[in-house]
Structure 1
Amino acid sequence: MRIGVLGAGAMADALGTRWAAAGHELMVAGRTADKARALARKWGARAGDFREVAEFGDVALIAVLYQGMPATLAEIGDALRDKPVVDCNNPVETEKFTLVTEAGRSLAQDIGQATGGHVVKAFNLCHARVWEMDPPLFDGRRLVVPYCGDHSAANDLTRRLIADIGGEPLLVGGLEQALHLEAMAAVVISLLFGGRDPHTVFNLVDGAPVAAGL
């Protein structure tokens, strides 16, 4: 699979490294060109500008701090139209740990509206160090990775990308659920800023039947 990685920070590094190891072909763009080129060398990939990378991928990962998202989307233009787009970002301010998007809307929905892409929310509930784990195991179980989206083919690609890093994919609904995943992330981020280990996660389900009444 050809994956365009839009962003060159810690999340892009962690996920891109795992996908490159799984045999995918990557291309990367970043706000800092030197960082993008360094990741490209690490992955045996190529670097380019945001539009080039968006056009390259069968699927794109957007991993950009929310403060830089408008400028990034402007550079991408319409290059993601009708393409699967994985959004791992969290629009969370770190004073009161609340969402900064318009009430009732998620960043994922805003990205979809701006790009015309088929956006899937995924990988947003953990610190980058969790995605560096090979595989991400907690209590001997694979990490459950919730994702949501409205487009079946984009959801299927995201499921594959989650499985490729050793996670347990969990579809939680359409893209309207992205708002709730972003709100869950605000809780995780507040814990991390409070000093919790970066490997803190929601250990969501283990596949066992839930007892009646619980």
Structure 2
Amino acid sequence: MRIGIIGTGNMAEALGGRWAAAGHHVLFGGRSAERARALADRTGRRAGTIREAAAYGDATLLALPYDAVAGVLTALGAADGALRGRLLVDCTNAVGPGFRLTTGAGPGAARTIADLTGARVVKAFNHLPDSVWRLDPPAFADGPVAVPLCGDDAGALETVGTLVRDLGCVPLPVGGLDRAAYLEATTAFLIGLWHTGHDPRTLLPPFEAVTA
């Protein structure tokens, strides 16, 4: 599969590097051409512009700080259809001070990106940090990591499900893009717990206890 990646940070390197190792053709495009080239050199793949990454292949991963997304997409010409109909994987987290969503009471990040671009957006990979995605595979005592997927396009969900499996993880479709806001809020809550030294697993009983 051919995957364009908009971004040159930790998530871009973790996911793009793992997909490259799995045999996918990856092109990195970032705001810094130098960083894009360095990342491509480290992963043995290609570097290009943000515009090239947006148009490359079968899917594009949006791996930017959320506060940079609107500016980058506007410069790309998203409102003029540069990403219309493209499969865009959104792994952003709009989390600000106090581990609160910066999207406030408005639409969530994924919905905002979909409305701005007209892309077939799938929310995925945002619920865990890059350190987990670098693992080969991301699996622990209870088995491989499940990756929640939110999207409205069946074909897009199927494609992203393949990318999930290629990491050694399990795709977990959890509903349409309207559900992405819940995933984003849950992630903000989890980040707050992790950063204050709490283990979220202590909040939950064994699965059998709630399904008996």
Q: Please say whether Structure 1 and Structure 2 have the same fold, judged by a TM-score greater than 0.5.
A: yes
1:209 Cα deviation after fit: 7.9
Task: Identify the residue that residue 23 of structure 1 maps to in structure 2.
Answer: 23
Change (3 A) 1:6 1:212: closer
1:159 Cα deviation after fit: 0.3
Contact 1:6 1:60 in 2 (8 A): yes
Task: Identify the residue that residue 34 of structure 1 maps to in structure 2.
Answer: 34
1:176 equivalent to 2:178? Answer: yes
| Separation of aligned partners in 2, 1:191 and 1:211 | 23
Q: List runs of 5+ in structure 2 lacking aligned partners.
A: none
Task: Identify the residue that residue 80 of structure 1 maps to in structure 2.
Answer: 83
Task: Identify the residue that residue 128 of structure 1 maps to in structure 2.
Answer: 130
| Separation of aligned partners in 1, 2:9 and 2:200 | 20
Counterparts of 1:80-119 in structure 2, within 5 Å, are 80-93=83-96, 95-119=97-121
1:166-211 deviation per Cα after TM superposition (whole angstroms, max 9, x unaligned): 1111000000110011001102221333256xxx7879xxxx9856
Task: Identify the residue that residue 145 of structure 1 maps to in structure 2.
Answer: 147
Identical amino acids, percent of aligned pairs: 45
**Count of aligned pairs:** 207
Q: List runs of 5+ in structure 1 lacking aligned partners.
A: none
Task: Identify the residue that residue 7 of structure 1 maps to in structure 2.
Answer: 7
Contact 2:193 2:200 in 1 (8 A): no
Name the stretch that deviates more: 45-54 or 13-22.
45-54
Task: Identify the residue that residue 158 of structure 2 maps to in structure 1.
Answer: 156
- What's the secondary structure of 1:172's corresponding residue? strand
Task: Identify the residue that residue 49 of structure 2 maps to in structure 1.
Answer: 49
As a proportion of its length, which structure holds more helix? 2
Change (3 A) 1:162 1:103: same
Change (3 A) 1:103 1:82: same
Contact 1:125 1:201 in 2 (8 A): no
The TM-score normalised by the length of structure 2 is 0.90
| Separation of aligned partners in 1, 2:72 and 2:200 | 28
AA at the equivalent of 2:18: R
Give the aligned CA root-mean-square deviation in angstroms: 2.2
- What's the secondary structure of 1:190's corresponding residue? helix
1:213 Cα deviation after fit: 5.2
Change (3 A) 1:146 1:202: farther
1:100 Cα deviation after fit: 1.2
Contact 1:51 1:75 in 2 (8 A): no
Contact 2:6 2:54 in 1 (8 A): yes
1:90-113 deviation per Cα after TM superposition (whole angstroms, max 9, x unaligned): 1010x2211111515111011111
Contact 2:194 2:200 in 1 (8 A): no
